A and B are shown apart, each in its own frame.
Chain A
Amino acid sequence: MERKSILNLIIIFMFASLIIGLLNLGILQGSKFRRLSDSNCIRLISQSGSRGNILDRNGDIIVDNKISYDVMVLSQDLNHIDQALTLISRILGVEVKELRMAFKKNFISSSVPVTVATNIELKDAISLGEYKIEQPSIIVASKPLRHYPYGALASHVIGYLNEIDRWRLTKLEDYGYKTKDIVGFGGVEEKYDYYLRQEEGGLSVEVNHRGKFMRVLGFQPPRNGKDVVLTLDLKIQKIVEENLSGKKGSVILMDPFSGEILALASYPNFNPAVFVNKRTKLIWGLFNDPDAPLINRAIGSSYPPASVFKIVVASAGLELKKINPSTRFVCQGSIMVGARKFSCWDVHGSQDIFQAIAHSCDVFFYKTGLLSGAQNIHDYALKLGLGRNAGFDLAGETSGFIPSPLWRKINKFQNWFDGDTANLSIGQGDCLVSPLQATNMLAVFANRGYLLSPYIVKAVGGLDLSVKKKRLTGVPFKKSTFEVIAKGLAKVVSDAKGTGNVLSTLPIKVAGKTGTAQVSRGATHAWFVGFFPLDKPRYAICVFLENGGSGHAASVMAKQIIEAMNNQGLI
């Protein structure tokens, strides 16, 4: 064949292949491309509702939202984008280069507006809005942002907001959560996220090549999240946090009849606003702080209860009739248990139960504990709500731990000795209690007979939950047991030598128990648990200071808190 005919054939083949390509695109895949073409000129403009507010028991706002204005650019035409960016930069006083970089970074697809500046000021938003006709590609969108008027106040109760992580996403996907969603972490924000969270709405509109609005194709109104009302009292919470500030530890105030938490503070705390502003450096600092400011120490950490645990031992002794109010033990500063010497922190002489509680005499409780038996002490501790979850609203509650001979045998293959019983009787050893559990235990003696299940959320979206939340479990103790121990607790403060005597100067009568927990390293932990006013208890209180010294330090702080509450007429 001649070369020119071969070339002719090649050319015919080339043009035939063009026709075949056309056939494939236009006829075989025509409907698919028609659909793609239609979706090209449709724009989605999202409108977000606002997340539910968090209020205190009186309806005062703890966390709400403020409107922030974002500038978005919607256009395909590079010339128009440049014009628009120049205009925006003139009004905001930001360099065009920065805006261009933001545009590049945030570009998702040509059908979605690109955010170039966030959180601009109201007056800038208004002046940009005036260019709506000239520059239709500029969109000023208002977006509610979480606002914390009190900064770090009650941060552990509230929690913070952040982008959803993988673990939560896999768990919550079925409930309509998507990647990049902002969800609550910790506290009420996490536990009640499903109610608090808003529903995105938006417009789908048809636009022309300049991004100019042609007509609305569909609209879904955004839905605001539901408000959550807490049982917290903002005034008490403020007093508590002012006093606790700067000391590691936690303070809880609870209604001893209903279980409503009136104040719950943990320090070190954090400012949830840093997560809203995406202050990466500060966030990183929070996660890497060795003091773990994100941990809610009031519910999430447990500590040796020390002398606070003597209340359990006393209850066991009285209920099991091993001791009675007239039983007296002599404290000579120490006692021999087996071959080991267990000492008391002082020499108290002859003590009855009232004095023993007031002076926190170790020898009295070594003897009472040894008479009652370790397993019984364990059982009574559980009856008083220790060693198990209280079923609290917030995530991250710890159950604490109460050892028993049986546990020791099964898990450690070791025998239980009398020395262990003696150790347990003063709340040392493996025994661990969280501040919330300690508060809850004291409430039983304040209300004389009911174990509460503490709660912090009063109502969600206008629906009062307190009826459902208020669960009272009867504690089947003799009435006299409550009275005897309550009298002892009152003497802690009123007795001149009582460990909590510092509180006696208050105009309000307080009952309570101090504790000084030995730790393997560092200073002792300081406890004060109690309730007040004595005759008609309205508040159960727990002050716990991590490595805060002796129980005296905690008593002093409790005194300051109660004093401030009294000054503000809250009692």
Chain B
Amino acid sequence: MTRNSFFKILILALIIATLGVLSIYSSTYQKEGTQWQDIYKRQMLWLIIGLACFFFMSRFNYRKLWDANYFIYGAALFFLLLVFSLGVIRLGAQRWLKIAWFNFQPSEFAKLAIIIFLARYFSRKSIDDTSLLSGKFGIFQGIILPFIFVAIPMFLIIEQPDLGSGLMLMLVFVGLLYLTNVRLKYIFILLLALILPLPFFWHFLHDYQKQRLLVFLNPNIDPLGAGYTVIQSRIAIGSGGFLGRGWLCGSQSQLYFLPESHTDFIFATFSEQWGFLGSSLLILMYYLIIRQGFIIAQRTGDSFGRLLAYGISLLLTLQVFINIAMNMGLAPVVGLPLPMMSYGGSSILVTFIALGILVNIDRTRNVF
């Protein structure tokens, strides 16, 4: 069983990551300049580092995360604050820390840190006691306190500004609350408290964020500005047809009509070249990986491990879903990468670390 989930996840992740490298290569090989030519090599390097992390985490007892929990949470907050003062501004957002030769994106790590923190918060130290604390929690302990802990890093992320990651964290939080048997009543109260002031928050959004949300409702209001990416991405996906135009043959991504074709919109790049068939297989593979995550969570007795597995699976689910939906114009454009495919060291590392933790949870379960 252990071997089983380990290999399933490893092989699926490797296939997806390889397709990602191919897509990155195809979207950048026409561009001139070594920084573009080498981008797929860098992604491969990240992939190797990511795999190393994956193997390391799959051997590393996840229970140690329980003890390191506060340290991890504190470190995530520290890096997020550091981004504010020292961050590199790229594409109008301050999301990156420049460390040595690479750019490091703390918000990616913060997502994982928050999941570890929440799993720790809702579970008991004893391995034998499988029941969750949260069933007995009142509204303060069950909702308000964890919400405050989530809200601080979330606020920092939204201020970067990275509305997508921030809102996704909120969704992961709500999902975990749901799975930890917190009373539905409380969850509804939280949702109401979040949704009711939304019209008020509209004024606090940046202009480009408002524009993106309006464009999501109708991309044609601004075909050359904010709506441009969505329109081009839909054209890319649609022009792929059933079988696609073939590798290195799509004009949308090859001739650089599609912006961000190697990062957030890599799904469109992929879909143009591999068509409906390739894209649905890709979506299926993502589903299988996520399904593995949920299966692992369900068969894990340890409440901390179970919540951690659920959290990681939820994080993956939401990232994949929101990214692909925004590629197809079904969700507003937010700066979320597609896990394992999009170019970006931080995203690759965090995803593989998370998968490693997932595998380790399954492995450790059998040891006990």
Are B255 and A30 within 8 A (Cβ)?
Answer: no
Contact in complex: A26, B238 (CB < 8 Å): yes
Contact B255 A208 (CB under 8 A): yes
* Cross-chain contact B242 with A30 (CB below 8 angstroms): yes
Asked if B269 CB lies within 8 Å of chain A CBs, one says no
The 8 A CB mask of A1-35 against B (1 = contact, 0 = none) is 00110011001101101110111011101111110
Interface status of B353 (Cβ within 8 A of chain A):
no
Q: Which segment of A36-44, A94-102, A500-508 sits at the interface?
A: A36-44
A209 and B283 contacting across the interface, CB-CB below 8 Å: no
| Beta-carbon contact of A33 and B255 below 8 Å | no
Query: Chain B: which residue is nearest A77 at the CB level?
Result: B256
Task: Name A109's closest neighbour in chain B (CB-CB).
Answer: B224
Q: Which residue of A lies closest to B272 (CB)?
A: A37
Q: How far is the CB of A240 from chain B (nearest CB, A)?
A: 53
Within 8 A of A (CB), among B309-337: 317, 321, 324-325, 328, 330
Label chain B's interface by main secondary structure: helix
Query: Which A residues lie within 8 Å of B255 (CB)?
Result: 40-41, 207-209
Residues on B with beta carbons closer than 8 Å to the beta carbon of A17: 325, 330
A34:B241 contact, CB within 8 angstroms = yes
Closest residue on chain A to residue B254 by CB atoms: A209
Instruction: Select which of B241, B251, B321 is within 8 A of A18 by beta carbon.
Output: B321
A109 CA / B287 CA spacing, docked (Å) = 39
Residues of chain A within 8 A (CB-CB) of B271 are 22, 26
**Among B57-65, B96-104, B175-183, B191-199, which stretch is in contact with chain A?**
B175-183
B290: CB under 8 A from chain A? yes
Known contacts: A3-B179, A11-B290. The answer to whether A37 contacts B317 by CB under 8 A is no
Check if B139 is an interface residue, CB within 8 A of chain A. no
State which of B224, B241, B283, B290 has its C-beta within 8 Å of the C-beta of A27: B241
Given contacts A7-B178, A17-B325, A37-B236, 11 further A-B contacts (CB under 8 A): A4-B298, A8-B294, A18-B328, A26-B237, A26-B238, A33-B235, A36-B235, A40-B257, A41-B251, A107-B224, A110-B224
Given contacts A3-B179, A30-B238, A37-B252, contact A11 B224 (CB under 8 A): no
Q: Is the CB of B325 within 8 A of A209?
A: no
CB distance from A100 to the nearest CB of B (A): 16
Please name the 4 residue pairs, one residue from A and one from B, whose CB atoms are nearest each other, closest first: A33-B238, A209-B256, A37-B239, A26-B276
Please report the C-alpha to C-alpha distance between residue A227 and residue B283 in the assembled complex, in whole angstroms: 66
Size range of the chain B interface in the assembly: 35 or more
Chain B residue numbers with a CB within 8 Å of A36 are: 235, 238-239
Q: Which of B257, B286, B297 counts the most A-chain CB atoms under 10 A from its CB?
A: B257
A to B CB contacts below 8 Å, 20 in the list: A3-B179, A3-B181, A4-B179, A11-B317, A15-B283, A15-B287, A18-B328, A22-B280, A23-B276, A26-B237, A30-B238, A33-B237, A37-B235, A37-B236, A37-B238, A40-B232, A40-B251, A109-B224, A208-B255, A209-B254
Q: How far, in angstroms, from A208 to B241 measured CA to CA in the complex?
A: 22
CB distance from B148 to the nearest CB of A (A): 24
The residues of B that contact A107 with a CB separation of less than 8 Å are 224
Q: When chains A and B are docked, how far (Å) is the Cα of A206 from the Cα of B235? A: 18
B242 lies within 8 A of A26 (CB): yes
- Please give, as numbers and ranges, the residues of chain B lying within 8 Å of A47 by CB-CB distance: none
Point out the residues of chain A lying under 8 angstroms from B324, CB to CB: 18
- Check A34/B256 contact, CB under 8 A, given A7-B179, A19-B280, A26-B276: no
| B238 near A32: Cβ-Cβ < 8 Å | yes
Q: Are B240 and A26 in contact (CB under 8 A)?
A: yes
**In-complex Cβ contact of B279 among A26, A76, A109 (8 A):** A26
B262 at interface (Cβ–Cβ under 8 A)?
A: no
Docked complex Cα distance between A11 and B290 (Å) = 9
Q: Is the CB of A37 within 8 A of B328?
A: no
- Chain B nearest CB from A135 CB (Å) reads 13
Q: How far is the CA of A77 from the CA of B261 in the complex (A)?
A: 13
Chain B: minimal CB distance from A4 (Å): 6
A37 CB contacts on chain B under 8 angstroms? 235-236, 238-239, 250-252
- Contact A25 to B30, CB < 8 A, known contacts A19-B283, A38-B251, A107-B224: no
Chain A minimum-CB-distance residue to B286: A15
What chain A residues lie within 8 Å of B283 (beta carbons)? Answer: 15, 18-19, 22
Q: Given the complex, which residues of A lie within 8 Å of B290, measured CB to CB?
A: 11
A4, A33, A38, A208, most chain B CB atoms within 10 A:
A33
Q: Which residues of B contact A11 (CB under 8 A)?
A: 287, 290, 294, 317
For window 233-285 of B, CB contacts with A under 8 Å fall at 234-242, 250-252, 254-257, 271, 275-276, 279-280, 283
